[in-house]
Amino acid sequence: MQDLNVLYEDNHIIVVVKEPGIPVQEDKTGDEDMLTIIKQYLKEKYNKPGNVYLGLVHRLDRMVGGVMVFAKTSKAASRISEYIRQKNVKKRYLAIVNGTLPVSDKKIELRDYILKNERLNMSSVVDKSKKGAKESVLEYKVLKNFKYKGKDYSLVDIDLHTGRHHQIRVQFANIGHPLYGDIKYGNKINKVGQNLALFSYYLSFFHPTKDEYLEFEYKPNQLKKKDEIWEVI
């Protein structure tokens, strides 16, 4: 059983840090997943018999780490899901991309139309007239440029406005700066087995039952097991 990094917990929600490489829910690999890990944690902590309820209200790709909230009651799950639909849940990411992007205090917007290929489990930027294409928007700010093992990279802070399939990966690959470690979207540079250099470091939302706005921040360089490239932060 994985150690669980809990940032916040009450009777309604639990906020944790997902390590890169762990699936959010059970998949065909059969590897230990976040839902199972948290349910076991709650079962042991509160000595609960039988099945433990845990609501999954948002996701992160397996190879992406970051802050996640899970609902401990169906009421909390319903309310947070509604907040997400209303775009009242804020998520920010740190990413390391290949190549040099100009460092600036200004935010740069990427606005594309993305189409998911279900068969290949991949997405691509397409013309907005394409059937099934969804508008995809993010803003990013370049924090620094650096060299790692002789190659040029940029650290970016991303404000995600829409949550499309593989959106960040697809949009940065589309401008010629794929994420470090992302082989799937055209990055032939890093044919290695490390995780994606993408981390959901900030999460904020209204508590589902209290008149309280919650904010959580956890940087990838705080992880016990991390790719050394994150030491640039």
User: pLDDT for 97-134, tens place per residue?
Assistant: 999 999 999 999 999 999 999 999 999 999 999 999 99
> What pLDDT, on a 0 to 100 scale, did the predictor assign at position 81?
97
61 is catalytic: yes
Number of domains in the chain: 1
172-181, 189-198, 220-229: lowest mean pLDDT where? Answer: 189-198
Is it the case that residue 187 has pLDDT exceeding 70?
no
What is the average pLDDT score of the chain?
93
How far is residue 195's CA from residue 62's CA, in Å, rounded to a whole number? 9
Is it the case that residue 191 has pLDDT exceeding 80?
no
% of the chain residues with pLDDT over 70: 95
% of the chain residues with pLDDT over 90: 83
> Dihedrals φ, ψ of 39, to 5°?
-60, -40
CATH assignment at residue 156: 3.30.2350.10
Give the pLDDT confidence of 3-31 residue by residue, as tens digits. 899 999 999 999 999 999 999 998 888 88
Is it the case that residue 207 has pLDDT exceeding 90?
yes
pTM greater than the 0.85 cutoff: yes
> What pLDDT, on a 0 to 100 scale, did the predictor assign at position 83?
96
Is it the case that residue 2 has pLDDT exceeding 90?
no
> Which has the closest alpha carbon to 15: 208, 163, 220, 216?
216
Sign, CA dihedral 30-31-37-40, equals positive
How far is residue 207's CA from residue 73's CA, in Å, rounded to a whole number? 13
Confidence of residue 50 (pLDDT cuts 50, 70, 90): confident
Helices (H) and strands (E) in the chain, counts: 3, 11
As a whole number, mean pLDDT of residues 169-176 equals: 97
Range of the domain at 219: 5-232
Query: Which candidate in 31, 33, 61, 211 is catalytic?
Result: 61
> What pLDDT, on a 0 to 100 scale, did the predictor assign at position 227?
87
